[in-house]
Structure 1
Amino acid sequence: MKLGAWSKGLAVAAAATLSLAACSAQSAIVENTAVTVAWNQPLYSFNSSTSSGNATANAVILYLTQQSFNYYDADQQLIDNEDFGTMELVSEDPMTVKYTINDDVTWSDGVAVDTTDLLLNWAALSGYFNEGEPEYDEETGVIVPSDSSVWFDSVVYGTAISDTELPTIDDDGALELTYTVPSIDWRLNMTGVGVPAHVVAQRALGIEDAEEAKQAVYDAIMNSDTETLIQLANVWNLDFDTTAMPAEADQNILVGNGAYEVTDFVEGEYITLQAREDYAAGPAPSVETITVRYITDPLASIQAIQNGEISITQPQATSDILEAAEALGDAVTIDSEPEAVYEHIDLNFSNGGPFDPATYGGDAETAKIVRQAFITAVDVNEVLDKLIIPLQANAEWNQSQVFLPGAPGYDESVAANGSEVYGQGDAEAAMAMLEEAGVETPIDVNMLYASNNTRRVNEFTLYQAQLAEAGFNLIDGGNESWGSLLGTPDYDAWFFGWQSTSTSPLGAESIFRSDGGSNFTGYANETVDSLYDELSTEFDEAAQRELLAQIDAELWNDAYGITIFQFPGVTVYDSEMTGVSTSPLSPTIFWNYWEWGIPAAE
């Protein structure tokens, strides 16, 4: 599932920050220890900062192979990782942040991680050098390489990180980043270094020597060398995408600075990672090998743990899944708690389809009525009753686009956002709205979803029947590669889950801003953009919630789409394992991989 909107941010006034002391005690790698984890979607990119690569499927693997200045623990507390380096707010006016990487932090190919890596990551994330408009492949949604202008296809482009000046480098080699507008998310706007600068330059410019390659990146950025930046951006955007072990000549795209490095990758089956002996950038693991096996069928993952083929699984939960796990008895440990993920249906505003004003000669009001009719006809309660409540008895409709249930501000926002008129399966009211607007039925709606996900297949079946009664003909657009197809013009609507990776009030900014990196719908509302501008510099928690409530109301008023439910969570793991813990935030079960323990194989 896509992540970008929920991956960048922390209100510094709202969350405690803890520190992992540098040179902390680290466990030694135990030889012949191996853990196999089931996951439901294969990795397809080693750069999760691009608009197409920004997905949980990629992020969970990169959490093992990349390191950063901080991470969240199971209690959603932000932990400073001083084994990697430090970030320091050295000035409030203008807001200036100093980034220092420790001298002993290296890439898995032995090259030092340094300021140039940070500099490239900043250039890519901020879009500082971006110019013109990018071109995207209509079928895949992936950016097309450019030979005339610079465009780093960053998922967070247009957010607070874009409001920064060209960094400076101090005498000690630390990078200082100055904001033109203060940002409440300065701790998370740039938490790591992304992909290795020397690899990007080697691939883009044909430079073999790593230090020369880094120098070329440094010079291109500091001198605004457009010709070189075009080449660097094309590689950054596209070269790190792969669905299997690359050919030997291309294996430099696997280079990381984290605790593990990739040793095997079989398309659609598994990816294997080996612990690095020279790793010093964070808490070190004891498990020697981690294999992530791709099992799309949740019930099959329970069968695999029963057969001893895997050690941990966190399948999309249903009552059948929980019953199957409980039947394994003391052989497994089961943890159940809600996840920070919510299911939602989005409507496409910009593909010439039924929800696009262009279809009605530019009549935005008619398109809005069609969207309103659609989400009026959706019966959320039927979905909950049949798919979620059998597993989580107290499950309720998530009625906010920007607050998760139970979060401060949720109840107040729901009471005022106007969502109560939708989601009740009122086909008669929906038909009346379409008739009054003069829109003929049936209306074809091509809907995208994950066809290899049992719960989502069942969801589509329910939606198809519900909406047929209101004059909408839901066409089955299910596809196993759904993540890369979001925003492509062939689809009029889609449903999937947003996974939170931080506690930031700006978490959904890149979804709903008109220029947001995760805005797949083409939605544009000047009021929403302005409210996010105001929110990004608002450090008072109460005021933050008020601004978010206003955004929430705008989204419901525009009939952006409809939220459905918060995911019920189930983690099942071998009882012989120790240290397993899950976080509601991504990367969920992987967050403390260094604490995992398992008896060594004989």
Structure 2
Amino acid sequence: MKRLLALVLVAVFGGSVLTACSTEPGVISGSQISIAQIGELNSINPDVSSDLTTAHNASELANLTTAKFFDLGATGELVANENLGSVEVSGAKQMRVTYTLSDTATWSDGVAIDSTDLALSFAAATSLGGSNFYSVRRDSGLQFAKIASIPKAGEKTLTLEFSSPVADYQTALTLSVAAHTVAAKAFGSSDAIAAKTAALNAIVNQDPTALDALAEAYRSGFDSWQGITDETLFVSSGAYRVSKVSGKTSVELVANTNYQNGHLPRVQTVTLKYYSDSTAAIAAMSSGDVDIATAEDSGIASLGDILGLVSTIKSPKVTSVVKSGASTEQVIFNFRSTSVFSPERNNQDPAAALAVRKAFLNLVPKNRIITGISQNYSVVSSDSLVFSSGMNYYASSVSENGLTEYLFQDVEKASELMEASGLELPRKVRVVFDTDNPRAQAAWILLRERALSAGFKLKDLSSQDPTQILASGEFDLYIGPRPVVSLPSENVFAITSSAIFGYTSAAVDGALEELALADNQRDRGAALAKLDKLLVADAYGMPLYEVPSLLVYADRIEGFVPSAYADSATWGYQNWVVEPTPKG
């Protein structure tokens, strides 16, 4: 879980001599870039991730292989991609959203992208008919939608009707894999039209057997653990398509010829290489094996240590950028019935459960945690469950949300609240965090020091991969990074739709509806500030500090533009310009 919310290698063909970089649009023949990724990739379908550790790598692959209706700009804003199509919304309380594909929208194999592909994307995100596609979008606003009119094969539009307003309708529908590819895998049809028809019939008729077959092909048919030899699975909608999969070590991609679905690629070959930790990735950069890498704390080295390693690289010349604001380290309660912080475990009394959560927040030594982390490198305190510190409405929200009450540890107040609860003490709290996250480990050590004095007995459930524990619900508290939910790239509805934490609130749902209906930045900011205040009042959890990300890139890449929060190594591919690599 080195990345939350919570996060792709080298065949080089080119001319025999080195030439100057091209300034003309188009792919530079013989050019190649290698990119370091931390952890593993379990599927070349970037909409599928079996655990939190691979989610970031899936999104990194999607930046290259998936065309989107809206892309992220240099400052993290959403930018419409008219090359792929358009998204139009009508209605307010009951939204109708029409996704229209351009006439030129095609898959890399030349098959047109149509309504069947959009319908499959919807089916995957919503686990249509109870068939689990394992989509990373399962908590998106699409869960409130239904297909408004029956799509027909070959059509270029799909209209969805939402039972309540949602804020992520522009980004929730994706084109990660082709319907004809998935259906061919599921039903054995080699003809694209026949495969599309079979997929569409399964979706429209909600045929359980056919949907299960589609779901199985979608979630398992693109597994990359042992390599992939079936090149029909390499079809993509993005600027690049997979050309080779070497098990868990690397994925090689090649620029799509005649690409018209978005920003044009410049580099011909991109290789994504997978490393066990950030130190290995930086070592690979030092030896010239990779050109771009992102890094953060790991169980082996702190970010400060990694920055020290970067400073020792003399050749090739590299540039490093450290930013924060995409995610925050948080302490989040489990609200499911199995948790000690739920009403079910507090005499079925929501008020009693709230008092226990507030008592625990008073126990959290936030200021000491930040001071300890800052001994290795500077971090920015986060005092909002919704905003990052660089956002326009952060300061005004922080002044009113109520989190300043918990800035300093107050064991006496926590103890008073627990004694007043009338519950049997101490309350046992199962704490889960990633053992490869040294920040969470440091927070755990400080948290447990005085827990017993406040009426809590903490149990360590840490793991190298806490995914199964989180999914089971058999935990009470989570410590780790979570994405800043107000970012355009994130799904704010995950607050109340996440099956992991089980949080529900009618008041918060109302604020989310106001957010979805907001048609200007001022109203959007007000709705998010209201959401922030409601979450604090409900003792949802506590933000600790913004998690810094390190992005390192070789100076040989001309025109390189870092992603808004330095958390992506694959964003901005259209800016990359490198000289062709000579044969040799």
Say whether residues 1:409 and 2:393 are aligned partners.
yes
The whole-number CA distance in structure 2 between the counterparts of 1:310 and 1:428 is 52
Does the CA-based 8 Å contact 1:425-1:466 persist in structure 2?
no
Per-residue deviation at 1:355? 1.7
Q: 1:265 to 1:470 in 2, by over 3 A?
A: farther
Judge conservation of contact 2:321–2:552 (CA < 8 Å) in 1: yes
Call closer, same or farther: CA 1:314–1:156 in 2, change over 3 Å: same
Letter in 2 for 1:548: L
Q: Does 1:230 align with 2:211?
A: yes
User: In the alignment, is the contact (CA less than 8 A) between 1:311 and 1:573 conserved in 2?
Assistant: yes
**Residues 196 and 443 of structure 1: CA distance in aligned 2, closer, same or farther (over 3 Å):** same
Residue 212 of structure 1: how far off its partner (Å): 0.7
- Label 1:496 to 1:71 Cα distance change in 2 as closer, same or farther (>3 A): same
Deviation per CA, 1:34-53, whole angstroms, max 9, x where unpaired?
Answer: 32222223223445546857
> Structure 1 CA distance, aligned partners of 2:486 and 2:534?
23
Cα deviation digits, residues 319-356 of structure 1 (max 9, x gap): 22223322335722122332422121221121523223
Separation in structure 1 between the aligned mates of residue 226 and residue 553 of structure 2, nearest angstrom? 28
Q: In structure 2, what is the Cα distance between the partners aligned to 1:590 and 1:196?
A: 22
Residues 15-49 of structure 1: CA distance to partner in whole angstroms, max 9, x if unpaired?
xxxxxxxxx97422431x33222222322344554
Q: Deviations over 1:417-455 (max 9, x none)?
A: 221222422223223322222344444433332223444
- Residues 1:44 and 2:29 are matched in the alignment: no
Q: Distance in 2 between matches of 1:587 and 1:336?
A: 9
**Which secondary structure state, in structure 1, belongs to the residue aligned with residue 392 of structure 2?**
coil
* 1:308 equivalent in structure 2: 288
The TM-score with structure 2 as length reference comes to 0.83
Structure 2 counterpart of 1:207, from 179, 182, 189: 189
TM-score normalized by the length of structure 1? 0.81
Given candidates 446, 466, 471, the residue that maps to 1:482 is 466
Alpha-carbon separation, structure 1, partners of 2:557 and 2:286: 14
Deviations 1:91-147 (A, max 9, x none): 6688655444345544344533222101222344456x55xxx6xxxxxxxxxx67x
Compare 552-561 and 264-273 and name the one that shifted more.
264-273
Aligned counterpart for 1:196 among listed residues 173, 178, 190: 178
Task: State the match for 1:27 in structure 2.
Answer: 26
Aligned residues with identical type, % of pairs: 26
RMSD (Å), alpha carbons? 3.6
Q: Does the CA-based 8 Å contact 2:483-2:490 persist in structure 1? A: no
Number of the residue aligned with 1:86: 85
- Shift of the 95–455 alpha-carbon distance from structure 1 to 2, 3 Å rule, reads closer
1:171 Cα deviation after fit: 11
Cα distance change, pair 447–294 in 1 and its aligned pair in 2 (3 A): farther
Q: Select between 153-162 and 376-385 the one with higher mean Cα deviation.
A: 153-162
Q: Counterpart of 1:320 in structure 2: which amino acid?
A: D
| Unaligned residue ranges in structure 1 (runs of 5+) | 7-23, 135-144
Distance 1:554 1:45, change over 3 A: farther
Query: How far 1:209 moved relative to its partner?
Result: 2.4
Letter in 1 for 2:180: H
Match of 1:575 in 2: 555
Q: Distance in 2 between matches of 1:598 and 1:235?
A: 40
| Equivalent-residue separation in structure 1 for 2:566 and 2:146 (angstroms) | 27
Asked if the contact 1:261–1:273 (Cα under 8 Å) also holds between the matched residues in 2, the reply is yes
Whole-angstrom CA distance in 1 between matches of 2:567 and 2:290: 18
Query: What is the CA-CA distance between 1:521 and the residue it aligns to?
Result: 0.6
C-alpha distance 187-349 of structure 1, shift in aligned 2 (>3 A): closer
| AA matched with 1:231 | D
CA distance in 1, matches of 2:427, 2:439: 25
How many pairs align?
Answer: 557
For the residue of structure 1 that corresponds to 2:252, the secondary structure is strand
Q: Is 1:524 equivalent to 2:473 in the alignment?
A: no
462 and 3 in structure 1: CA distance in 2 versus 1, 3 angstrom threshold:
closer
Alpha carbons of 1:380 and 1:351: their partners in 2 closer, same or farther (altered >3 Å)?
same
Contact persistence 1:90–1:96 (CA under 8 A):
yes
User: What is the distance in 2 between the residues matched to 1:434 and 1:369?
Assistant: 8
Instruction: Check whether the contact 2:388–2:484 (CA below 8 A) recurs between aligned residues.
Output: no
Distance 1:344 1:189 in 2: 25
CA distance in 2, matches of 1:81, 1:226: 34
Structure 2's unaligned 5+ residue stretches are: 8-22, 298-302
SS across alignment from 1:590: coil
